[in-house]
Structure 1
Amino acid sequence: MARAPGWSVRLKLTLSYAGFLMLAGALLLAVVWVFLLRYVPDQPHPPPLDTLGGTVYRADDLILQGPSRHDLLSAFAPRAAEVMVFLLVFGLLGGWILAGRMLSPVTRITEATRLAGTGSLSHRIRMPGHSDEFRELADAFDTMLERLESHVAEQQRFAANASHELRTPLSITKTLLDVVRKDPSHLTEEFLDRLHAVNSRAIALTEALLMLSRADQRSFEPERVDLSLVAEEATETLLPLAEKCDTTVETSGDLAHALGSPALLLQLTTNLMQNAIVHNLPKAGSVWVTTALHDRSVALTVENTGEELTPELISTLTEPFQRGTERIHADHAGVGLGLAIVKAIVTAHDGTLTLAPRDGGGLRVTVRLPAAPPPERDGRRLPPAPRRSPE
């Protein structure tokens, strides 16, 4: 943004310091002048007549004693002017030095801002000294730079991984089409099935990327959603997959109403349950889905049996295109965005996502969302709904 040149902040502060000092000096001199005027007469007083010796002086022989106001003004005015000149010089010089010392943190913050503007996000101010307003600003700026650098690095990794994931099915499709173009006899039903599977994977990846972007934008109108009903709906949808993978799914818990998008919360629950089914034991696996109502929040917990997972591995599962272990059921392998989408949806609903290893193997995922307020009818809040007994 183009701006007309103006005075620097340091010069403005210097003039402000000097002006304040001049005003304080003028007021002090005025107080001294008024105080002196109370004890100095307009005209000098004559000396008392000495009548004891019998001598009487004439009026024109009287010797005047004590200064008059005119004499005081003649002596006071030059000294006051000298003091004001000294205060002006001292105020300008001292104000310039003080303003420079006070604004030195702003200079360091400005330099860091310019470096960040050129793309260098690794620079930190690290302002020394005790806490004050400027140092709090510098610390907040360092925190912002750290988060921005982390976000940019995450976006770069995401773009690279997304390009790699999309390139793989597209390259396979191109290879298959080249083979058919050279020899049309390869166009068999098996070939078409292979081409259809690769194309379906590319479409699924694209839809997952679109879902992830919509979740980050928070472009939805919050509605009252019961997570227990969402869990039951997701269970019914994934029941064929669970039967095919020899996995049992159990749902239980309380009525848990949250404010959010029904479609996104259903997607969240579906992703968690699908991951729990796919990342499971080869046979006789189990998945438990529970909902709970707390004072100011509701919780959705999805647990599953499976392999032993380390905390280091679990901390990377919510990153895009990160897969914990090789999936047992390879025919239902996802695109690596399931938990990344879950994390984005939870963030969009101002909730928290917690992943922890389960005793005996497997994973426990807990989603906490702000509880929806009780519904109102005729201006009065209805009592909370009774809790549902576990199935």
Structure 2
Amino acid sequence: MGTVDRAPGLSVRLKLTLSYAGSIVFAGALLLAVVWVFLLRYVPEVIAAPPRGAPGSPGPMIIPDRADLQRAFVPKAALVMVFLLIFGLVGGWFLAGSMLAPLTRITNATRMAANGSLSHRIQLEGREDEFRELADAFDTMLARLEAHDAEQRRFAANASHELRTPLAITQTLLDVARNDPNRDIGALVDRLRFVNTRAIDLTEALLLLSRANQRSFTRDHVDLSLIAEEATETLLPLAEKRGVTVETTGDIAPTTGSHALLLQMTTNLLHNAIVHNLPEQGTVRVTTSVHPMTVVLAVENTGPKLSPQVVSTIVEPFQRGTQRVHSDHAGVGLGLAIVKSIAQAHYGTLIITPRADGGLRVTVDLPATRADGS
């Protein structure tokens, strides 16, 4: 997006200087006017002097009138006004420059950020005021942009790697089949189908992640408790196959959002809880609760113990806990990343904490909807 063409104008420093000088001159002129009016009250227009030699006369004396006052006052007042004008212009110029110095640093930092340098910080010194508050807010924004840019670079690199892997496997299988005409075609087709399915799943996950980040969806009134039950019914066969017990309880949890995206979010959480569980006799608990301003979906599962350092990274795209899992239900490494994006798209938060006995507790807080739908 290009810059807007603007006509040249006066600088803010010059405008402030003229404002300071104008204020000082106006105040000086007002003060002199008050003095002039005050003097005129006590000086008559014409002074009648007593005749010389009159009884009781002190002798010759000069009594000023208004004309004398005007001749004495006006030149001095003009000199004072000239001094105030010069003082206002010079002092205002330096004062405006001192006041606008922080704004110059902020402008330079903005230009550097526009050129791609996100590591620069203003770090404005001094006590708290409006400029320092603006500089601190700008530094915070730069830090977030830098972190987001680094995250996007990692995401692009990981996505490229993940997309290239099934393509490379497909190419290898095809080369082997071409060089070995006697190879079992059925096994080759099954393998190609599996690899192609993984590539499709990854592509759909990336599209879903992009859709959640853009918040391009229709918002309806939904109940998280019904969504939790629907996700549980869908994944119940997988849980039974792995010997995992799923318990779903909770209150009616009304909120506003996309039913499809919230169902995908809940399904991803439940899927991760089932897959990353104990080898046998594992449990998963899905609960919903209502608070004054939020509704909460909590998914808690047994499983291996995880350190806080590992937990802090598993939300990033293509992270799968302590190691990469290769199975029919390993997913594409975007499960929790999609959950986080969907939660943020619904103005919610995702909190992941390790359980002392192993496994995770994942909670999603979303804005609550009142009974009247507001």
Indicate whether the TM-score tops 0.5: yes
Deviates more, 1:120-129 or 1:295-304: 295-304
2:42 equivalent among 34, 39, 44: 39
What's the RMSD between the two structures over aligned residues? Answer: 1.8
Secondary structure at 2:239 match in 1: helix
With over 3 angstroms needed to count, the CA separation of the structure-2 counterparts of 1:51 and 1:172, relative to structure 1, is closer
Is the Cα contact below 8 Å between 2:255 and 2:366 reproduced in 1? yes
Distance of 2:273 and 2:128 partners within structure 1: 48
Deviations 1:11-33 (A, max 9, x none): 11111111111111111111111
Q: Could you say which residue in structure 2 is the equivalent of 1:59?
A: none
Matched, 1:310 2:307: yes
1:374 equivalent among 368, 371, 374: 371
2:70 equivalent among 46, 53, 73: 73
With over 3 angstroms needed to count, the CA separation of the structure-2 counterparts of 1:17 and 1:8, relative to structure 1, is same
| Structure 1 position 342, deviation (Å) | 0.3
Matched, 1:9 2:12: yes
Deviations 1:103-160 (A, max 9, x none): 0001100111111111110000000011111111101100000000000000000000
Structure 1: tracts of 5 or more residues without a match? 56-61, 382-391
Q: Could you say which residue in structure 2 is the equivalent of 1:265?
A: 262
Q: Could you say which residue in structure 1 is the equivalent of 2:110?
A: 113
Secondary structure at 1:184 match in 2: coil
Is the Cα contact below 8 Å between 1:318 and 1:343 reproduced in 2? yes
Q: Could you say which residue in structure 2 is the equivalent of 1:159?
A: 156
With over 3 angstroms needed to count, the CA separation of the structure-2 counterparts of 1:39 and 1:181, relative to structure 1, is same
Q: Could you say which residue in structure 1 is the equivalent of 2:88?
A: 91
Deviates more, 1:178-187 or 1:339-348: 178-187
Q: Could you say which residue in structure 2 is the equivalent of 1:58?
A: none
Deviations 1:165-212 (A, max 9, x none): 000001001111122223332252111111111110000000000010
TM-score, length-normalised on structure 2? 0.95
Amino acid at match of 1:276: A
TM-score, length-normalised on structure 1? 0.91
| Structure 1 position 219, deviation (Å) | 1.4
Is the Cα contact below 8 Å between 1:47 and 1:65 reproduced in 2? no
Deviates more, 1:139-148 or 1:243-252: 243-252
Q: Could you say which residue in structure 1 is the equivalent of 2:239?
A: 242
Structure 2: tracts of 5 or more residues without a match? none
Secondary structure at 1:332 match in 2: coil
Q: Could you say which residue in structure 1 is the equivalent of 2:275?
A: 278
With over 3 angstroms needed to count, the CA separation of the structure-2 counterparts of 1:193 and 1:128, relative to structure 1, is same
1:292 equivalent among 289, 294, 309: 289
Secondary structure at 2:42 match in 1: coil
- Paired-residue identity, %: 67
Residue correspondence of structure 1 range 100-249 to structure 2 within 5 A: 100-249=97-246
Distance of 2:65 and 2:184 partners within structure 1: 124
Is the Cα contact below 8 Å between 1:45 and 1:65 reproduced in 2? no
Distance of 1:52 and 1:70 partners within structure 2: 29
Is the Cα contact below 8 Å between 1:46 and 1:63 reproduced in 2? no
Secondary structure at 1:38 match in 2: helix
Aligned residue pairs, count: 370
With over 3 angstroms needed to count, the CA separation of the structure-2 counterparts of 1:68 and 1:51, relative to structure 1, is closer
Amino acid at match of 1:82: L
Amino acid at match of 2:292: D
Deviations 1:234-273 (A, max 9, x none): 1111111112212111111111111111101100110000
Distance of 1:236 and 1:86 partners within structure 2: 87
Distance of 1:90 and 1:359 partners within structure 2: 72
